[in-house]
Structure 1
Amino acid sequence: MTGLVVVAHGTRRLLGNAVASIIAKQAGRRLRMESRAAYVELCEPLFADVVAATRQPTLVVPLLLSTGYHVRVDLPAAVAAAAAPVTLGAPLGPDPMLASAQVSRLVAAGASPGRPVVLVAAGSNDPAARADIEAAGTLLADAWGGPVRVATVSGSGAPALDQVVRPGDAVSPYLLAPGFFSEAVRTRSAAAGADVVADVIGPHPDVVELVVRRASTLLASTTGHRSHAG
């Protein structure tokens, strides 16, 4: 029996870590497979420990919104040390379904479609991550039907949110779970004059659907490989 692990970054906030657990539970129910959440750091169970202990074929869907050190180094290293077959997927974002979830959060927060939006990501010094964040901004603009500018809380490459957010803007956090970064986005955006700050993406139905699709693709690839090998 193949299992599913969704792996999030992890935070010291219980509410933030609960997002991954909810997504794991709902995706596992949809896929009719055993599922659980794991974390790169700051919260248990740690992903490295989970894959080291697994004794069944496992699909891994990272709940990470862009490429970065964890995607390129930490996760592959943990998978390489696993005793059972573990198939690692790509980061969750950027993806049109995440943009769709962001639109839903913006509307729920009171933003009118088409008004200027600033997508705010956590930020990274990794050039690949910065490219992913820019791509996420383009996808959100397409889904929103209005102008979207991109900013970050930290990191290099994209400008800081304080330099981008203007009075009257709506802000869409490109963050999966509440925590340190989401609090920084809300506080600093309000200080910059934003009228609306949407909620984090969270366990939105579009996110669960995206995880189900990613896991199904991974399962099909492993099944096809085994059939070909046989």
Structure 2
Amino acid sequence: MTTLVLAAHGSRDPRFAVTVERIAHAVSERLACVDVRLAYLDLNGPMVQQVLADCEGDVVVAPLLLSAAFHSKVDLPAIIDEACATNPAINVRQLPTLGSDPRLITALADRLDEVGLRPTDGVLFTAVGSSDDAADGSVHRRASELAAELGNPLVQTVFATRLGTDNSNVRAAVHRLRLGGARRIVVSPYFLSAGLLTERVDAAVDALAPGAQIAGPLGAHPQLVDVVCDRYLTAVHATV
């Protein structure tokens, strides 16, 4: 059976590793006969290159990344190329990043429902932010898709790495939501896990919009697990 390597970014915040381990466990339970291995691109171990060095035969690498940016376009392909050059016993296929699948929008809506989203709420959609304009553009599209899913046009996007001087970008987004009629602000984190960046956003929102609700990150949501498993199975069947 083709090995599945889940390639996560990595983080200094221990909550990230706990979260992706839960995702890996859920995927492994769903794909009971598959050798599922978790690896990291940075900051945690084992690293992707270490895991690939120990593999044999066909391997599918599934990036646990939400947007197609440097790590999925440059970093991971280079790691895979090097691994294949040094380990001729493997044949590796890289899957797309997770974010383009509409099931993640359902998962985000579920997380908002868990904190009691109301029709009069304004949603602050938060993501990491990238130097890749296409990646940021995809985040804005996800925000629009979430608004359509919720039937609520009051959705604004803020990037956690670009909050602005004195959180000016957060302040502006909250202001736009209130101008649109939002009575309460609810944060929808487009993140796999809580961590330092989500805390930075949450602190800014708490200061600017007291009483705001913070939804949970995607985590090991069943829809996200479905995306990983279905893409793996599609890739395996395509090579048979």
- Normalising by structure 2, we get a TM-score of 0.86
Report the equivalent of 1:201. 218
SS in 1 for 2:121: coil
For structure 1, which runs of at least 5 residues remain unmatched after alignment?
A: 224-230
Whether the aligned pair in 2 keeps the contact of 1:16 and 1:177 (CA below 8 Å) is yes
Whether the aligned pair in 1 keeps the contact of 2:122 and 2:186 (CA below 8 Å) is yes
The 3 A distance-change label for structure 1 pair 161 and 222 is farther
Q: 1:191 aligns with which of 203, 207, 227?
A: 207
- Normalising by structure 1, we get a TM-score of 0.89
The answer to whether the aligner puts 1:212 opposite 2:221 as a matched pair is no
For structure 2, which runs of at least 5 residues remain unmatched after alignment?
A: 179-183
The answer to whether the aligner puts 1:129 opposite 2:174 as a matched pair is no
The answer to whether the aligner puts 1:36 opposite 2:56 as a matched pair is no
Whether the aligned pair in 2 keeps the contact of 1:119 and 1:173 (CA below 8 Å) is yes
Q: Which moved more, 1:122-131 or 1:166-175?
A: 166-175
Superposition map of 1:1-230 within 5 A: 1-32=1-32, 33-82=34-83, 83=87, 84-113=90-119, 115-147=121-153, 148-155=155-162, 160-166=169-175, 168-193=184-209, 195-223=212-240
Report the equivalent of 1:226. none
Residue by residue over 1:104-138, the C-alpha shift from the partner in whole angstroms, topping out at 9 and shown as x without a partner, is 11111222256321211011111111111111112
The 3 A distance-change label for structure 1 pair 213 and 112 is same
Residue by residue over 1:58-99, the C-alpha shift from the partner in whole angstroms, topping out at 9 and shown as x without a partner, is 111111110111011111011112220111001110322111
Partner Cα separation in structure 1 for residue 7 and residue 186 of structure 2: 29
Structure of larger gyration radius: 2
- The alignment's C-alpha RMSD in Å is 1.8
Partner Cα separation in structure 2 for residue 184 and residue 56 of structure 1: 43
How many residue pairs get aligned? The number is 221
- In percent, how many aligned pairs have the same letter? 33
Residue by residue over 1:153-179, the C-alpha shift from the partner in whole angstroms, topping out at 9 and shown as x without a partner, is 1259xx933431246221101111121
SS in 2 for 1:169: strand
